[in-house]
Structure 1
Amino acid sequence: MNFSIRNQAGRGSLKGYRLALLLGCTALVAIPLPLSAQEQTDSQDGESVGVTVLEPVVVSVDGYGASDESSIVSFGNTGGGKLATDFLDTAASVSVITSKEIQFRDAQTVEQVLDYTSGVTTDFYGSDDRFDYYKIRGFDAYSYRDGLPLGDPFGGIREEPYAFERVEVLKGADSTIFGVSDPGGTVNFVSKKPRSERFGEAYITGGSFDHAEVGFDFGDNITEDDTLSYRLTGKFQNADAEYDYSNDDESFIMGGLTWRIDDATEMTLIYDYLDLDGTPGSGGYPIGSDFSRSTFLGEPDYNYNDVTRNTVTWMFDHDFGSGLIFSSRTRYSSSETGFGYAYVYEPVSNGDTIADRYYFGNAQSYDDFVIDAHFEYDTSFANVDSRTLAGMQYETYSGTNVSYYDVAPGIDWTNPVRSGGPNYAGPYASTKNDQITTSAYVLEELTFSEKLIASVGLRNDWLNLEQLNQLSGTNTTGDYSEFTGRAGLTYKITDEVSTYASYAQSVAPPTLGIEPERGEQYEVGLKYAPLAFPALFSVSLYDLSKTNITVTNPATSLQESIGEARVRGIDLEAKAELPHNFSMTAAYSYMMSEIVENGTRGNVGNQLGFVPNNVASLWVDYTLEGEGRRGDMTFGLGAHYQSAYYFGEDNLVKSDPNITFDAAFSYDVAEHTTLQVNATNLFNEKYVAYGGYGADWYNPGRAVYVTLRQTW
């Protein structure tokens, strides 16, 4: 019996082999013997004895838990372009959201992409739409693209999910793998690349808040021998937000070119352009009130949020043979962003209908260049398989940040009279920041008798920082050298079950004059990948802490290092393509946070803000197969629950527990043509996502979108 096995997860996937074997056996049972076998006769009397010689069976696991476009289950992660690792072999908790899941849930934002992932909390600033807001295991999560740093999403750029094949969530401290980051975890976006085949799709979408959108994603070979391929992806959106005087427009275009120089060498060049023209938020609402989400208490002539970014990415891979591989990832990006808005700030009720307000504005620009290059060497000796990775990363960043602040006229919410934009006397802060980061790292993985996997990683980051205060002319510099390590041990109990324990450290980018924030985590877990159907089940327990926490002192407006926080928890997650046309994504997380030290601020023993104790989610799909002229129909329903969480570390004000529902339906109108309907917050559940300190901000309301998609 011959098997053709292709598994995108990387080196030697046992799961891909086991799945191919299972499917092959199933195929033998299902195929009638007269069509697939030849009878042999007894050599003595020439009579048939019913012994059969089977035809070769070729099985590909592509599309059966192996393809991001055809399954919600992925059996491995890319390792951020470094050591790709199978699910059962990884001594960490990793979640992968494939493009199929992103598309069927019609995730419009990164927050929606991450909504059904264990350990992740999202959208805790409600209708503040400036940035992507998410935390992993109670702490801010740094983001990466193809393994190269993007930075902290808070204050960054909202990413476009349509640009990515998949989104990988690595939970826990992982500075050894990715670089400077917070201890809760990281999010790695994997860019769409050209393929050596013809493919494509185009779609149109319309829906709530005058939403109109068109998009396309197609590619093909340029040369007949598959050496040169291209891909073009785009999305153009004209829409409003859910509140008055708002807009949510976007232009995104991405083009890629892959050159397969020979069987051992490949390089890819990707360019993308992102332009966002939106509104930063509704302006908030007076505390304790209950306004319609459409109410806008900002200023139509001033509330704006503009983003323009250009990015060029270059990827190069060469296999020298004998187990030695060289890989490099390089990216240059430049952006200009700016937002301004009038927002409500009224900590106490004045007994009137006038909402006090402030103006706030910000303008940023930056140029960033980063390159990562590494060698991987795979070898075996005796009963030991070895993978060694050694590399370096270099990044240079230069950017400016200017902020404005002023008192805005109050507004009567019973009879709003708009006052226009501010007349700033000048910025209250203006800085120019330059940073050079040089990193060296080494990772070693040893597999003993295909059962016990030991891994260790070491990394050192050298950071050279310089900041110019453009108002005072003061120039501040600092040099830092930060070492982090990681160690893990995995034992494969069976071909379906593994258990692991790990220890990992992290370090966050420092603020000049202050020690960097550091984190560490201890974790144990159990993973199960059944043979019977494509599915992944995992449970992990962790204890993580973060020290040298940096905050801004309100009395001096300067940053200071004040103490330590700790989070202990458990994550459970399941993703499965079930029998009888069902599929499921389920997640539950318990997090108990505690402020261990807090300088002179008190609050010791309190919980961290925006960290609910319980978060749970469930999404279930069912496909009713077509019959006659009726095509396939797929029904999806999801629920997301989170318990109450505090809005601040003083633990004085908190949210209400809440549960929201999402739904999806798709119908194959004709071959390659699909009609899809999606609804988020189906029952329009309303709660205060953030509030109590000047204004309330509600969670997003119900939105319904209809998409017609053509593929080829």
Structure 2
Amino acid sequence: MDMERTRDSSRMTAIGYRSALLLGCTALVVLAPDPLLAQESGSSNAVTSLEAITVEAGGLDPDNDSKSIVATKTLSGSKMATDILDIPASVSVITSKEIQERGAQDVEQVLQYTAGVSTDFYGSDDRFDYFKIRGFDAYTYRDGLTLGDPFGGIREEPYAFERVEVLKGANSTTFGVSDPGGAVNFVTKRPKSERFGEAYVTGGSFDHRETGVDFGDNITEDGTLSYRLTGKVKRADDEYDYSQDDENFFMGGLTWRPSDDTNLTIVFDHLDRDGVPGSGGHPVGTDFDRSRFFGEPDFNYRDVNRNTLSVLFDHDFGSGLTFSSNARYSDARSNFGYAYISRTPTDGSTVADRAFFANDTAAENFIIDARLQYDASFQDIDSRSLVGVEYNKLQSDNDGYFGAAPSIDWLNPVYTGAPASVPLYQSLTNDQETRALYFQQDLTLSEKVIATVGLRNDWLDLHQRNNITDTTSEADLSEFTKRAGLTYRVTDEVAAYVSYAESVLPTSLTLEPERGEQWEVGIKYRPDAFPALFSAALYDLTKNNITRTNPATGFQETIGEVRVRGLDLEAKAELTNNISLIAAYSYMESEILENGTLGNEGNEMSFVPHHLASLWVNYLLPGEGSRGDMNFGLGARYTGSYYFDDANTQSTGSSVVFDAAFSYKIQENTSFDVKVSNLFDEKQVSYGGFGADFYNPGRAVYATLRQTW
């Protein structure tokens, strides 16, 4: 759990003790032996344990993800493999087939056609993955284990994942301490019990050259031991001068299946990126080409080197009892140096002020999650119970540098080179240890009504050392969150639900954590006639105890409260053998309710548009004679206007961006693919308001030759 914002406290609150007692007692009830439960029922009807159903990849179906854009199950709702119709929350799943059909190159592109998710709002700033869910920041996870806030984190490689799951709204009960916007869970590719593979080469805009492989097979004849190797090498520039976007990615996995009841997978991956964090922005009010660069060629850099080892284990004891555990160790080094325009003059001058900003981060993280699930039936009641524990150890060093840079004349730019040094303004060493106990319960009555309850308590032991002042701060926190939902299966195809969920996130060493609450009602429809999922949700999401610096005192205070009310509509459907579509619409109404002495009450939140809409349509033209199959894809993304600041003084206009894709099957296992993002090169300011403008990404064209087996 990447939580470098902590608070100074050494207390265990009374609610923490009560929460632990409640969770412990609940776990005892869940794991009670059958005879005891039968006696408690006061009936001669004994408990009937459900027979286990063996499903690969932690309860999901990876083969379906490669063949369909419509997923039927997810782990993100409760850490139990659950039918999406039975989850009292909005969940979107982007399968590997959808990722390939749309030709998504990065995480932001993967999420672009998902209801409630906004991307690209930092324009050509390429340091991190930038996205919000329902107007708030969203934490990322891999196989249910936290990666942290993507703002300030490492840009993930989509080619490593079988699917991407998006859980919308407050979710600390499911995943732990986080912001209230939602969660993005990446599901790692695992070995399969069959021979498969693909190899590809890609070329395109900005001198893009890339090659990749993803293949595996059984090592033993009986299929008890399988392997998978995945990797890509990319050498490319970006759309601005003096750019770089190079990557080396390698992942290898082994799966051991000693029996039908046991599955052990070990995955190692290495990610190495060498890039440039951005062009430095453009002077406010100008309209330069995206290629213009106002940073420093000898200073703008962004490097990442990370090694990760993951272990995933599942065992079915029979009689409805299963055990699962995920663990991950990672060692990461990342840094960036950024020269950018910090102020555009308003007196007619063409000389803009600039600043140097740099960061060096090293982090070592071990996290493990273990859980027991028990499925049983009591007359006309089906029960699924999950009790789990999580341990997370994070050690990190973070150094920040900031200082003035030489000004630049945007009509006659002269670069001055890298500075001899940049002033160090922050140097922190964090040692964070988190333990959690959680419980999830689903009760299904007469196959119609599903009651869902989740409880979780996180104990956080946080230490932070300020290396500049040589001082240490500590915090010992206990945070309890809960969620509850009720789902009604109107028919086998239709489900309606109502739910309440919470989130919690410590942000300071001295202040109360930020907290989120969400109420949501929704309906989902999955027809039997063809693969499809249609959903609609109304929600009221509030975040309070927001930490801000009070200008009157110069100290941070919990002086904020904001709210977003909205509507999400989403459809994924394979209407015929030839036509499929992905459609999404979101309406968000945001409001700043409290902001202490900063004012702005009644204003809208920054970077929260009222409207988001997207549509992707794919048409298959079957081959005939010597001509192979052809796939035509066309998409459109609409983003309404939004403010750059809470004062609502500066904003951007609305925009529509088109994307396109084409695929031609040369032979049975050989295809030629073309992907175009921002087809008509639509240009607008995605981010501004502090001294520079940042444009949205421009048109990019990529062609891929792919061989599968």
TM-score of the two chains, using structure 1 as the length reference: 0.90
Pairing 1:153–2:119 present: no
Describe the superposition over 1:510-545 as per-residue Cα deviations: whole angstroms up to 9, x where unpaired: 321111110010000011001110000000000010
Task: Give 3-state SS (helix, strand or coil) of 1:428's partner.
Answer: strand
Aligned twin of 2:529: 532
Alpha-carbon shift at residue 415 of structure 1 (Å): 1.6
Pairing 1:679–2:693 present: no
Aligned twin of 1:169: 166
Describe the superposition over 1:368-419 as per-residue Cα deviations: whole angstroms up to 9, x where unpaired: 0000001000000100000000010000101011011111111112221110
Aligned twin of 1:381: 378
Q: Which amino acid in structure 1 is aligned with residue 366 of structure 2?
A: F
Aligned twin of 2:702: 705
Aligned twin of 1:288: 285
Describe the superposition over 1:55-97 as per-residue Cα deviations: whole angstroms up to 9, x where unpaired: xxxxxxx89xx71111101111123782111021111000000
Q: 1:409 to 1:485 in 2, by over 3 A?
A: same
Cα pair 1:109 1:159 within 8 Å, conserved: yes
Cα pair 1:10 1:85 within 8 Å, conserved: no
Cα pair 1:164 1:192 within 8 Å, conserved: yes
- What is the CA–CA distance in structure 1 between the aligned matches of 2:56 and 2:674, rounded to whole Å? 30
Cα pair 1:80 1:188 within 8 Å, conserved: no
Alpha-carbon shift at residue 585 of structure 1 (Å): 0.1
- What is the CA–CA distance in structure 2 between the aligned matches of 1:67 and 1:155, rounded to whole Å? 34
- What is the CA–CA distance in structure 1 between the aligned matches of 2:282 and 2:139, rounded to whole Å? 30
Alpha-carbon shift at residue 8 of structure 1 (Å): 7.0
Q: Which amino acid in structure 2 is aligned with residue 372 of structure 1?
A: D
Pairing 1:632–2:629 present: yes
Cα pair 2:640 2:655 within 8 Å, conserved: yes
Pairing 1:584–2:578 present: no
- What is the CA–CA distance in structure 1 between the aligned matches of 2:217 and 2:570, rounded to whole Å? 37
Aligned twin of 2:495: 498
- What is the CA–CA distance in structure 1 between the aligned matches of 2:523 and 2:270, rounded to whole Å? 41
Aligned partner (choices 568, 572, 577) of residue 575 of structure 1: 572
Q: Which amino acid in structure 1 is aligned with residue 175 of structure 2?
A: F
- What is the CA–CA distance in structure 2 between the aligned matches of 1:340 and 1:311, rounded to whole Å? 25
Pairing 1:324–2:321 present: yes
Pairing 1:180–2:184 present: no
Aligned partner (choices 91, 95, 99) of residue 96 of structure 2: 99
Q: Which amino acid in structure 1 is aligned with residue 237 of structure 2?
A: D
- Larger Cα-atom Rg: 1
Pairing 1:549–2:536 present: no
Describe the superposition over 1:322-378 as per-residue Cα deviations: whole angstroms up to 9, x where unpaired: 000000000000111110011001154231221210111110000000000010000
Q: Which amino acid in structure 2 is aligned with residue 269 of structure 1?
A: I
Aligned twin of 1:372: 369
- What is the CA–CA distance in structure 2 between the aligned matches of 1:553 and 1:697, rounded to whole Å? 28
Aligned twin of 2:663: 666
Cα pair 1:396 1:437 within 8 Å, conserved: yes
- What is the CA–CA distance in structure 2 between the aligned matches of 1:68 and 1:425, rounded to whole Å? 48
Q: Which amino acid in structure 2 is aligned with residue 515 of structure 1?
A: E
Alpha-carbon shift at residue 551 of structure 1 (Å): 3.1
- What is the CA–CA distance in structure 2 between the aligned matches of 1:81 and 1:219, rounded to whole Å? 30
Cα pair 1:542 1:568 within 8 Å, conserved: yes
Q: 1:660 to 1:502 in 2, by over 3 A?
A: same
- What is the CA–CA distance in structure 2 between the aligned matches of 1:425 and 1:9, rounded to whole Å? 48
Structure number with the bigger relative contact order (C-alpha 8 A, sep ≥ 6) is 2
Describe the superposition over 1:156-196 as per-residue Cα deviations: whole angstroms up to 9, x where unpaired: 00000000000000011111111111111100000000000
Alignment of 1:97-496 (within 5 A): 97-424=94-421, 426-496=423-493
Cα pair 1:586 1:619 within 8 Å, conserved: yes
- What is the CA–CA distance in structure 1 between the aligned matches of 2:694 and 2:58, rounded to whole Å? 44
Structure 2: which 5+ runs fail to align?
1-52
Q: Which amino acid in structure 1 is aligned with residue 381 of structure 2?
A: V
- What is the CA–CA distance in structure 1 between the aligned matches of 2:78 and 2:224, rounded to whole Å? 22
* Cα RMSD for the two superposed structures: 1.6
Pairing 1:612–2:609 present: yes
- What is the CA–CA distance in structure 1 between the aligned matches of 2:327 and 2:554, rounded to whole Å? 37
Structure 1: which 5+ runs fail to align?
14-61
Cα pair 1:517 1:550 within 8 Å, conserved: yes
Q: 1:553 to 1:400 in 2, by over 3 A?
A: farther
**Most deviating of 348-357 and 144-153:** 348-357
- What is the CA–CA distance in structure 2 between the aligned matches of 1:378 and 1:357, rounded to whole Å? 61
- What is the CA–CA distance in structure 2 between the aligned matches of 1:242 and 1:549, rounded to whole Å? 37
Alignment of 1:505-524 (within 5 A): 505-524=502-521
Cα pair 1:505 1:521 within 8 Å, conserved: yes
- What is the CA–CA distance in structure 2 between the aligned matches of 1:701 and 1:641, rounded to whole Å? 15
Cα pair 2:54 2:261 within 8 Å, conserved: no
- What is the CA–CA distance in structure 1 between the aligned matches of 2:419 and 2:148, rounded to whole Å? 31
Cα pair 2:77 2:167 within 8 Å, conserved: no
- What is the CA–CA distance in structure 1 between the aligned matches of 2:626 and 2:590, rounded to whole Å? 55
- What is the CA–CA distance in structure 2 between the aligned matches of 1:186 and 1:556, rounded to whole Å? 35
Q: Which amino acid in structure 2 is aligned with residue 608 of structure 1?
A: M
Identity over aligned pairs, percent: 64
Cα pair 2:345 2:352 within 8 Å, conserved: no
Cα pair 2:344 2:353 within 8 Å, conserved: no
Aligned twin of 1:69: 66
Describe the superposition over 1:121-145 as per-residue Cα deviations: whole angstroms up to 9, x where unpaired: 0110000000000000000000000
Cα pair 1:9 1:84 within 8 Å, conserved: no
Q: Which amino acid in structure 2 is aligned with residue 669 of structure 1?
A: I
- What is the CA–CA distance in structure 2 between the aligned matches of 1:8 and 1:696, rounded to whole Å? 48
Q: 1:617 to 1:679 in 2, by over 3 A?
A: same
Aligned twin of 1:41: none
Aligned partner (choices 640, 646, 654) of residue 657 of structure 1: 654
Task: Give 3-state SS (helix, strand or coil) of 2:597's partner.
Answer: coil
Q: Which amino acid in structure 2 is aligned with residue 453 of structure 1?
A: I
Alpha-carbon shift at residue 552 of structure 1 (Å): 4.4
Describe the superposition over 1:403-453 as per-residue Cα deviations: whole angstroms up to 9, x where unpaired: 111111111122211101123364111110111111000011000111110
Alpha-carbon shift at residue 567 of structure 1 (Å): 0.4
- What is the CA–CA distance in structure 2 between the aligned matches of 1:328 and 1:361, rounded to whole Å? 38
Alpha-carbon shift at residue 580 of structure 1 (Å): 4.9
Cα pair 1:168 1:189 within 8 Å, conserved: yes
